[in-house]
Amino acid sequence: MENKNNMKLYNEIELNRKQSNFEWLNHHANEGVLFWFMVQSIVNSRDMNNIKLHFQIPKEIKKVKDVCEYIYSRLFIDNVIQNKVLDYINLNFKKTDLGSIVGELSKFSSFEWGGDYQGSLEKSLVKKYIKDEKDLLNNKENILNETINYLMASKYNYLCSKLTENLFYNHPSVVPTINKIKDVDFFVGNHFWDLKQTILPKGYLDKLKKETTFNLDKVISNVKENPTSLIKWLYENQGEMRFSSENRLFMIFVNKNEYEKSWKLKSDKQKLEVKINNFLSNNFITYDIDFKFKGKNYKAKSSLIIIDNE
């Protein structure tokens, strides 16, 4: 592929990325999109000297954007550069000490979410104590407890995310992002993925309770056999402030015997490691999801792992 065609593709990808046109990006995933994301995750001003040395970039090319364009322009001219991208990631990705994360997670004996379920402590407190005019002075203890619960729950979720992400990174089929980039945590199966972790939503269960005779065991079994209904529900019921149609790999946690203790499964390293490795080692299935949000139609690629107490 000639250099000018490379740069035409580079600019097309950049434009569709800015427009969050994931349908287009998925359609062209095997035509350079994956490497475009990889290059974006590699190049930053902090490590510029190391990057320029590794890719033998001319001295006069200095800006981050120009370095990205230079590396990408050579990807399909010189196949060695593609290998150099992967080599750079392998050499420079810093693995996290999972033992320290597990140690921190072991300190959590409860999970009580403060604030509302959209994740905003500030909005919850403003509504209760300003808009609803509850007395501030006589509710200091309640405000303090709600704040502490919010921070503790947020820290637990943060540590669980780090644990799960790094268990994915440890698998040989996964290519991690060196630097965090929006909507992409890693690459696997010729696709770019954003990892999402959540307890099996009560809203989804409430929907099923209205439609049929409810049995949680049966629900979990159905989701394992055909996850598209739940995946579509998750896309369509995401918060408006954080809406996106990127490719999502969902990790769904549910304790079918004690639903309220489902949160504990998020920190079960041994179970997570087995489930993730089995999932990645057995050619996991990806699903093309058509969904609607605010009256608009979207397409996404997705997959799902159920982590239960079996």
- Rounded Cα distance between 107 and 124, Å, is 27
- Rounded Cα distance between 252 and 268, Å, is 13
Give the model's pLDDT for residue 148: 87
The overall average pLDDT reported for the chain is: 90
- Rounded Cα distance between 70 and 225, Å, is 45
- Rounded Cα distance between 176 and 96, Å, is 12
pLDDT digits (tens, 9 = 90+) for 67-96: 999 999 888 777 788 899 999 999 999 889
Q: Which tokens hold the place of 186?
A: 């890693």
Give the model's pLDDT for residue 117: 44
Q: How many CB atoms lie within 10 A of CB 227?
A: 21
- Rounded Cα distance between 167 and 275, Å, is 10
Cite the DSSP H helix spans in 138-201: 140-169
User: Which amino acid belongs to residue 181?
Assistant: I
Q: What is the pLDDT along the chain (310 residues), one digit of tens a residue?
A: 456 677 888 999 999 999 999 999 998 888 889 999 999 999 999 999 999 999 999 999 999 999 999 999 888 777 788 899 999 999 999 889 999 999 999 999 888 876 554 557 777 788 777 777 677 777 788 888 888 888 898 899 999 999 999 999 999 999 999 988 889 999 998 899 999 999 999 999 999 988 877 889 999 999 999 999 999 999 999 988 788 999 999 999 999 999 999 999 999 999 999 999 999 998 789 999 999 999 999 999 999 999 998 7
- Rounded Cα distance between 125 and 289, Å, is 37
Give the model's pLDDT for residue 134: 74
pLDDT digits (tens, 9 = 90+) for 131-176: 776 777 777 888 888 888 888 988 999 999 999 999 999 999 999 9
- Rounded Cα distance between 37 and 181, Å, is 8
169 with 176: CB under 8 angstroms?
A: yes
- Rounded Cα distance between 39 and 86, Å, is 10
